Chain A
Amino acid sequence: MYFKFIALVFATTCAVFVSGHSYEDNRCKCVCPSPATVLNNTAGADRSPFMKSANVQPNKCNCESVILPRVGDQIKGREQEFCPRCECKYENRNTTIIKVVVIIVIWVIMLLVVYMGFLICLDPLINKRAKASYQEHTNEDDESTLGGPSQQMGARGNVLNRVTHQQDKWKRQVREQRRNIYDRHTMLN
């Protein structure tokens, strides 16, 4: 139920984003010095370069096809001086991959945070109702207390219990790791 809901929300979010605004995946990027520098022949007047991007064919990605149509009037016939100083590069990217990856990362983080909140807040409450003898995580001797009930439940042997058993096993392992690292400082210092 819980997971179904998340999956549904996930699917709808994806659908919304896929239909949203789409960015170009190819560009020709040209970086040129500002025309004023070239034309005035004064070093250091206004040296700030500028960049033009355009969606053109890869073989058209050069100064003549990208820059000159836009700033040709400023250059006024001095293309031979201006163009050699432009750097043009054709670039590719894939926005779909970026989008999918970022959304997956957000979802994974959110799932983990929700699960962490569940383990911190709700799990102790549920377990306390289930068995009164629940011990706090930091207790050193709780392995036996946790191992006992899970084995009894395993006898009933349905899927849910097996999942619970696995979860208990995993929790024990994490607790052991935590003890090694945070309490005893025997590892990963």
Chain B
Amino acid sequence: MQGESLRSSVGALEPSTGGPYIDHHPRALSRVECSVPSQALACCSQKLVKIVNLNDISGRVFVRGELPDYLRHNGANASNGRGAQSTSEDDMVDITAGLQQAAAASVTTPTSHGTFQLYEHGGRNSNASANSYTIAQYFSSSAGDAVLFSGMSGDDDIPGIGQYDDFHTIDWQRDIARDRMRHRYIVKKRQDSIWDLIKGAHDAWSGWVCVLLVGVCTGIVAGVIDIGASWMTDLKFGICPQAFWLNREQCCWSDTDTTFDTGNCSQWLTWPEVLGGQRQGPGAYIISYLFYIVWALVFAALSASLVRMFAPYACGSGIPEIKTILSGFIIRGYLGKWTLIIKVVGLILSVSSGLSLGKEGPMVHIASCLGNILSYLFPKYGRNEAKKREILSAAAAAGVSVAFGAPIGGVLFSLEEVSYYFPLKTLWRSFFCALIAAFILRSINPFGNEHSVLFFVEYNKPWIFFELIPFVGLGIIGGCIATIFIKANIFWCRYRKFSKLGQYPVTEVLVVTLVTAIIAYPNPYTRMNTSELIYLLFNQCGISNSDPLCDYNRNFTDVNSAIEKAAAGPGVYHAIWLLVLALVLKLVMTIFTFGIKVPCGLFIPSLALGAIAGRIVGIGVEQLAYNYPRIWLFSGECSTGDDCITPGLYAMVGAAAVLGGVTRMTVSLVVIMFELTGGVRYIVPLMAAAMASKWVGDALGRQGIYDAHIALNGYPFLDSKDEFQHTSLAADVMQPKRNETLSVITQDSMTVDDVDTLLKETEHNGYPVVVSKESQYLVGFVLRRDLNLAIANARRTMEGITGQTIVIFAGTGNQPLSPPPCLMLNRILDMAPITVTDQTPMETVVDMFRKLGLRQTLVTHNGRLLGVITKKDVLRHVKQMDNEDPNSVLFN
């Protein structure tokens, strides 16, 4: 037994069949011969328990009153198993009694769970004499996870059980079962006293209260970021001496007379003016240039050093990590208090430094941090990792909701892009959370424009059918730009990861900032805040727009207020050249920027890239329509003059296309974009562009940027979008391989010393528990962490625990309880591990891992334990089948 390896270090994958294991223990049959049918029955009912779990997972309401009889029977077993654990004896009679009780319970109170009522019942009957040891034992082994974690709400709980170590995967099944048990406990206690009733009510509404708090906090934090970033961005250009906390627009807000020629009002002083010079002229330009660069460097240096000093996890966009966390991975500290503070402050600083980055992606991370922190106020969510992820999903929706002022888009983003497990209940909570967050941000009104984003535009222009062709063309362009971006960015990040560049994170930030500032300042379109650039490009040219981009030879004498098409003036052509330059610069700078060690997102840069490309195309089409209004393409709709081609719409479609290509979002992207424009009229153009962009992107490169970063970092993310298309079997993937033996724990014959030795000599995170080493019949599964904690706890609290104490996990009917006393560890044993047979196709196994959120599954052959498949094995196998390096997966 000692030195056996359950999950050995990975050598060559040998296709191993179940063959050698069948005859491993010839003596096994002698003891368990008679009980094989009941084992089979137990296995069967185990699976049925899991079916119930599956139903709960998929969010459907499963009324216990409708349970078929065999499941109720199982519930009865569960209760009896519970009783058996205390006295280790049980009787067939209990099962019948329990069944009746279950039926009664489901009739009288259909909402409460039948199994719970059985809970006590089994205990009462547990002193019945044992006359059928084998059957009782095997029925108790089918007790199901529902019972085992009931200690969660008990008083004598071992501290730390149910938590996870850093960089481990959670077991959704187990956590959800724990929560269900806790819920039943509360429902039962509710009848005891008023106080318990209040506690029960608090428990029932805590989910909604939690998302309410998350929404409120997210809205406030978003407001702080918006106001702070817009003020600090303008600090690069000048200051408002009378009220230094106002940015340029707010400073000139109540100025009574402003012309657009200078763009400045008297209250706002640029830096050359502050220093006593004049507003115009080469000297002023140089001083402004210098101030711009210095401020940018100061902000970036502050941001990078704060991140490095206080919370390194605050760097980057955070969406790949949030995706991984929501898929059931633990990264301690990633959603902590310091990460939140530093991410907020660092985000304000890095956005203000003029780097080519946005605040929208990190907003999702910030909202998730808030969700995590606030969930600790509610033990239901704070202590249960699977439940906590429901709050995190809602928080991610709130993050996008405040980032774009798009609540529905946020919910869909959470559903489409980040969440892994998204039942309807979570959908409603996300909806509520996003609504609250958007409402709070809107009340703060950070931009003074009655909207929660700077680049909100309102359109009401029709589009003509022919325009779908340029829209699809924009989709293709967007897909190409996105692919270039993803490939180059991944190349650069990989280079950073494996070269000496990675050792100089702060220096890298400073160099990138310096280069960005030097190149960006001369071009007015890159100098300005990227959100303002997007707003300018989205907007249509009206009287209030004096940018060169709107230098059309328009005749304002006509009283008709419609903006008609007109010949482009020289300003437009000049602006186009500047925009082309800006496009190239932004693309290159974003490639180098995304991944540096400051908080940075890429929604805004991608939107800007697409908006530039779209606006250029739009101006082209517009001039075509102006010069040749009668060609068949426009089917006569452009001959009247007005309402023909809107370049701003093209900018919007282009922005959607690039963002769609980069992130591979479709539905949520279209919804976000139309919430930004406030009109449903452009859904079809946006859909066409998003779809074209996704197709082009998928054809040129397989992954979106987030998936590519997950792969680059090797996070253990089992993508539910990919299909597993290989023909391997469970036996090929499981550990141990041939020639190695499985580390197992026997249910009632190992001493504390044996267990200690096993824990010391192997590094597995869990051990199967079997009836005996000879028979290898499966009893359950115990986690290494729980085992450690339980033994340490027993040593601390119980007397007489020596190295020779027998550790008993289950079923000790034939063992005397005389000294030395046994250590009962039935509380930590998962008696309903998911099992598959060795001939199960991997396709099915991968599906089970994805849909049930398993951490491991046990492989059996002829009912006997053969091996274990963990999520890591599955991920390695997938990587190996895709001809990638299987050792790149970050995992414990």
Q: Do chains A and B interact in one complex?
A: yes
List A residues at the B interface (Cβ < 8 Å). 17, 20-21, 23-24, 27, 31-33, 37-38, 41, 43-44, 47-55, 81, 84-85, 87, 91-95, 97-99, 101-105, 108-109, 112-113, 116, 119-120, 170, 173-174, 177-178, 180-182, 185-189
Q: How far is the CB of B786 from chain A (nearest CB, A)?
A: 23
Task: Give Cα distance in the complex from A186 to B166, angstroms.
Answer: 14
In B519-570, the 8 Å CB interface with A consists of: 542-544, 546, 553-557, 559, 561
Partner of A174, one of B302, B310, B559: B310
Shortest Cβ distance from residue A182 to the other chain B in the assembled complex, whole angstroms: 6
Residue of B nearest to A55 (CB): B254
- Chain B residue with the shortest CB-CB distance to A179: B312
| Contacts A/B (CB < 8 Å), 26 sampled | A23-B243, A31-B544, A43-B553, A49-B543, A49-B546, A50-B257, A51-B259, A51-B544, A53-B254, A53-B257, A55-B254, A81-B559, A87-B544, A97-B223, A98-B227, A98-B231, A102-B231, A103-B245, A105-B232, A109-B302, A112-B341, A177-B311, A180-B312, A186-B890, A188-B313, A189-B595
B662 to chain A, nearest CB (A): 17
In whole Å, how far is B268's beta carbon from the nearest beta carbon of chain A? 12
Please tell me which stretch of B280-288, B465-473, B476-484, B497-505 contacts chain A, meaning at least 4 of its Cβ atoms lie within 8 angstroms of it: B497-505
In the assembled complex, B255 has its CB within 8 A of some CB on chain A: yes
The reply to whether A48 and B345 contact each other, CB–CB distance below 8 Å, is no
Per the bound structure, the CA–CA distance linking A35 and B258 in Å amounts to 14
**A174 vs B546: C-alpha distance when bound (angstroms):** 50
Also in contact, A116 and B309, with CB within 8 A (given A101-B223, A101-B224, A103-B245): yes
Would you call B556 and A177 a contact (CB within 8 A)?
A: no
A119: nearest residue on chain B (CB-CB)?
A: B309
When the two chains form their complex, are residues A93 and B445 in contact, meaning their CB atoms are under 8 A apart?
Answer: yes
A109 to chain B, nearest CB (A): 6
Cβ–Cβ < 8 Å partners of B345 in chain A: 105, 108-109, 112
If the complex has contacts A49-B543, A101-B224, A177-B333, are A93 and B250 also in contact, measured as CB distance less than 8 A?
yes
Please report the C-alpha to C-alpha distance between residue A97 and residue B441 in the assembled complex, in whole angstroms: 12
Does A178 lie within 8 Å of B556, measured CB to CB? Answer: no
- Asked if B411 is at the interface (CB within 8 A of a chain A CB), the reply is no
* Residue from the set B305, B502, B544 with the largest chain A CB neighbour count within 10 Å: B544
B246 touches A98 (CB 8 A): yes
- Chain B residues positioned under 8 Å from A178 (CB to CB): 308, 312
Please pick, from B259, B445, B557, the residue contacting A37 in the complex, using a CB distance under 8 A.
B557
Q: Name which residue of chain B comes closest to A170, CB basis.
A: B338
Contact between A188 and B316 (Cβ–Cβ < 8 Å)?
yes
Q: Is the CB of A52 within 8 A of B256?
A: yes
Are A53's CB and B253's CB within 8 A? yes
Minimum-distance CB pairs A-B, first 6: A102-B245, A93-B448, A31-B544, A24-B254, A105-B228, A177-B312
Q: Does B496 contact A (CB under 8 A)?
A: yes
Cβ of B714 < 8 Å from any Cβ of A? yes
Query: Are A24 and B312 in contact (CB-based, < 8 A)?
Result: no
Contact partners of B256 in chain A: CB under 8 A = 52-54
Q: Which residue of A lies closest to B245 (CB)?
A: A102
Q: Is B147 an interface residue (CB 8 A)?
A: no
How many Å lie between the Cα of A125 and that of B331 in the bound state? 33
Cβ of B763 < 8 Å from any Cβ of A? no
Contact: A49 with B260, CB < 8 Å?
yes
Q: Check B254–A27 contact: CB distance below 8 A.
A: yes
Complex Cα–Cα for A45 and B450 (A):
35
The reply to whether A91 and B224 contact each other, CB–CB distance below 8 Å, is no
The answer to whether A182 and B348 touch (CB under 8 A), given A101-B224, A188-B321, is no
Complex: how many Å from CA A91 to CA B497?
49
**Docked pose: A180 CA to B595 CA in angstroms:** 15
CB closest residue in chain A, given B444: A97
Q: How far is the CA of A120 from the CA of B711 in the complex (A)?
A: 35
Q: Which residue of B lies closest to A26 (CB)?
A: B254
Q: Chain A residue with minimal CB distance to B261?
A: A48
Provide the residues of chain B in CB contact with A48, threshold 8 Å. 259-261, 546
Given contacts A95-B243, A99-B245, A178-B308, 20 further A-B contacts (CB under 8 A): A24-B253, A27-B253, A50-B258, A84-B561, A85-B543, A87-B542, A87-B543, A93-B250, A93-B253, A95-B250, A102-B228, A102-B231, A109-B345, A109-B349, A116-B305, A116-B306, A174-B311, A174-B338, A187-B331, A189-B494
Asked whether any CB of chain A lies closer than 8 Å to the CB of B449, the reply is yes
Question: CB distance B543 to A44 under 8 Å?
Answer: no
Q: Does B186 contact A (CB under 8 A)?
A: no
Question: Hey, which chain B residues are within 8 Å of A21, CB to CB?
Answer: 242-243
Contact indicator per residue, chain B 480-492, by CB within 8 Å of chain A (1) or not (0): 0000000000000
Q: How far is the CA of A33 from the CA of B544 in the complex (A)?
A: 8
Q: A20-B243, A105-B224, A105-B228 are in contact. Are A92 and B543 (CB under 8 A)?
A: no
Contacts of B595 in A (CB 8 A): 189
The 8 Å CB contact of B310, one of A33, A37, A116, is A116
